[in-house]
Amino acid sequence: MTKKERPDNRKLDEIRPMKMKAGVIKRADGSAQVEFGLTKVVAAVYGPRQIHPRHQEDATKSVLRCRYNMLPFSVSDRKRQGYDRRSTELAKVITEALEPALFLEEFPKTAIDVDMEIVQADAGTRAAAINAASLAIADAGIPMRDLVTSVAAGRANKELLLDMTKEEEDAEDAVDVPMAMMPRTGKITLLQMDGIVTPQDTEKIICLAEVGCKKIYEAQKKALLEKYGS
Ligand code: ADP
């Protein structure tokens, strides 16, 4: 599992070099910057605050509103500015990945807004965005059951791999399985799959992602400790 080499010389079960920092945007209630190799994302959180437009108000709980956006210069060919079908889908799955960690019913009639900007993309942006959003929510002091931790695992060039780069994701046999979980309980809050793979390999890929999530969890906790002390 650990011997074969990858384009960036990582082991098969090795995550790219991670950087995490909480509290990077002074204007937001909470924020974080997260990097996995070349993939870089900034998340900012506002709320719980009064919801606009008012018709979105829910008398029983806070509404979590996530926005995912790729900046034009984040990819090799300059991307057209603004939201598209992909960013709408990712905002939805990220919202569903984060919701189980929050006590939304404690803040009725409000909104919690989470903005995620992909500054640089080299695959794994939804996972990086979830990790950053989760840190930013904690940084905003919003109560959580646990941090949500995310990574993608999969297959490229006949090998099962953790945290693939775009180069690896472009392999002919590529399978991409982004996953998010709350490590304390092991509850999985996001599981997607792109590609065709056997049930046996699916299990192995999920195990790889689970081990990865636990390592990322430690990095997230360290980033919070760096800001808030022990
Ligand atoms: P994720 O970033 O979560 O892995 P995808 O599998 O949809 O999500 O995308 C994989 C990678 O493909 C992205 O991280 C990015 O590097 C690249 N990519 C996605 N959308 C575009 C785009 N519109 N233009 C260029 N590259 C893109």
Supply 159's token pair: 């090998």
Q: Give me the residues paired with residue 34 across strands.
A: 20, 41
168 contacts 161 by C-beta, under 8 angstroms: yes
If one counts every other C-beta atom within 10 angstroms of the C-beta of residue 76, the result is 9
Residue 110's φ and ψ, nearest 5 degrees, are -120, 175
What is the residue with the minimal CA distance to atom 9 of ligand 1? 123
Secondary structure of residue 78 in the 3-state scheme: coil
Q: What is the mean pLDDT of the chain?
A: 96
Model confidence, pTM: 0.97
pLDDT at 4: 65
Question: What whole-number distance in Å separates Cα of residue 229 and Cα of residue 221?
Answer: 11
Question: What whole-number distance in Å separates Cα of residue 42 and Cα of residue 132?
Answer: 7
The alpha carbon of 70 and the centre of ligand 1 are apart by a number of angstroms equal to 9
pLDDT at 154: 98
pLDDT at 3: 54
pLDDT at 5: 73
Q: Give me the residues paired with residue 151 across strands.
A: 179
Element (H, E) at 34: strand 30-36
Domains of the chain: 18-225 (3.30.230.70)
User: Which of 166, 167, 177 for mutating ligand 1's site (highest number of atoms within 8 Å of CB)?
Assistant: 166
User: Which of 83, 92, 125, 155 for mutating ligand 1's site (highest number of atoms within 8 Å of CB)?
Assistant: 125
pLDDT at 53: 95
What is the residue with the minimal CA distance to atom 11 of ligand 1? 123
The alpha carbon of 121 and the centre of ligand 1 are apart by a number of angstroms equal to 7
What is the residue with the minimal CA distance to atom 6 of ligand 1? 123
Element (H, E) at 58: none
96 contacts 189 by C-beta, under 8 angstroms: yes
The alpha carbon of 16 and the centre of ligand 1 are apart by a number of angstroms equal to 17
Mean pLDDT by 10 residues, the chain (230 residues): 75 98 98 98 97 96 98 95 95 98 98 98 98 98 98 97 97 97 97 96 98 98 92
pLDDT at 230: 66
123 contacts 168 by C-beta, under 8 angstroms: yes
Residue 74's φ and ψ, nearest 5 degrees, are -80, -20
The alpha carbon of 169 and the centre of ligand 1 are apart by a number of angstroms equal to 9
Which residues lie with the beta carbon below 6 Å from any ligand 1 atom? Answer: 75, 79, 121-126, 152, 166, 169, 176, 178
Question: What whole-number distance in Å separates Cα of residue 68 and Cα of residue 118?
Answer: 8
